[in-house]
Structure 1
Amino acid sequence: MPYALLVAAQLFGLVLVPFGLPGTWVQVAALGVYGWTSGFATIGWPTIIFAAVLAAIGEVIEFSLGGRYARKYGGSRRAGWGAIIGGIVGAIAGVPVPVIGSVIGAFVGAFAGAAIFELTLTKDWRNPELGSAVRVGWGAFLGRLVAVAAKSAVAVAIAALALVSALR
């Protein structure tokens, strides 16, 4: 029964990740609870700490890739920060919309944040470079997409670590 609960918690964490929710931390917490309830017989502190490090790496990846891609698509450092801030604000603003609001909000927020922050660099407000800002926003959008995929891969690695370690 405890192993079945661990499997359910790992799957639940995997589902949370694409929605911008802390699924990897749910997985780590479930791993810790499983270790504690089993008296750390199969899951030890090194495994739990390694899973927590993976979760932290997943968070860094998630929050940095939008900004990196915005800069890769010709944006300034300011646009990179705009993508990160916009993604966070968009995810929070999208929460009231059931199921997919935070996902859509994070993608739209990253795009809008990068584009708006890039536009603030325009010296001539009567003739802004909208094409450049849209390209930078698109880069931030793609970065967010890659970030979700990368964090999902980290979540799969945590689930595999947890489930294989618990079987020992």
Structure 2
Amino acid sequence: MTILANLSGNGGSIPARPRKRKGDILLFPFRERKVECPLFRRYNGRVFYVWLSILAVSNLLWLALVLFGLPGNWLMVLATSLFAWWTWEQRVFSGWTLMAIAMLAMLGELVEFLGGMAGARRTGASWRASLMGIFGALVGAFVGTIAFPVPLVGTVVGACLGVALAVWAVETARGAHPDLSFQRAMGAGLGQLLGIVSKFIIGVAIWLTIAIAAFWP
């Protein structure tokens, strides 16, 4: 006791540690609290949730861009990572959460990239036709976005038609039967459509992961 009194330097009494309250910012219901992040010091918990809501709404906009053939999933990852860095002291998003959404975004790109190829190969198309289908999808998406008055429809339809035409052209040049060339082209177009839809579904999973990490107690 004597040693402890000398170490305390406070007349023998050791000051009690302040009790640490958990979840000042992240727990419901809303309560007035001082935010530790320097950029949010003058704000309370309610305003911090407003910023989280703005992030969620902006991520919905990025998600919609996936259907336009744009990297909306990666924009969600980028926006969330910047918000996590901006408010790092709040620990709203852990490193595991950021890693998970980045891996999902990579998976979405892979699924879209291989969609047309997988559809073409499934119907018996050659590797050359399948690889040319990827190039055709990119060109078709670009042309469709410009040619069609509705950007969303133009991008998706253009990508599917582009991969189908590319596979059909290569298979026809190889001397395949017209019916087989058409069948393989249809398989490539359907595969591309499924790839785009799958990428959008993965984007929804990314958005839900971010929203749950932000608002779940």
When normalised by structure 2's length, the TM-score is 0.70
- Structure with higher Rg: it is 2
Q: Sequence identity of aligned pairs in percent?
A: 32
The residue that corresponds to 1:163 in the other structure is 211
Given the alignment, which residue of 101, 122, 128 partners 1:72? Answer: 122
User: Which structure's residues are more often helix, by fraction?
Assistant: 1
Alignment of 1:106 onto 2:155 = no
Match of 2:140 in 1: 90
Counterpart-to-counterpart distance in 2, 1:8 and 1:22: 17
Tell me how large the CA RMSD over aligned residues is: 1.5
Unaligned runs of 5+ in 2: 1-49
| Distance in 1 of aligned mates of 2:101 and 2:112 | 16
1:63 and 1:39 map into 2 onto residues whose CA distance is 34
| Contact kept? 1:17, 1:151, Cα under 8 Å | yes
Aligned to 1:141: 189
| Larger RCO of the pair (alpha carbons < 8 Å, separation 6+) | 1
Q: Give the length in aligned residue pairs.
A: 163
Question: Structure 1 residue 32: deviation in Å?
Answer: 0.8
Following superposition, the deviation at residue 42 of structure 1 comes to: 0.9
Residue of structure 1 aligned with 2:56, choices 7, 11, 15: 7
Gaps of 5+ in 1: 123-127
Give the structure 1 partner of residue 199 of structure 2.
151
Between 93-102 and 48-57, report the one with greater CA deviation.
93-102
The 1-side partners of 2:56 and 2:120 are apart by 37
1:57-80 deviations in Å (ceiling 9; x for gaps): 100100101111111112111121
Offset, 1:44: 2.3
Instruction: Report how far residue 156 of structure 1 moved.
Output: 0.9
The aligned counterpart of 2:170 is: 117
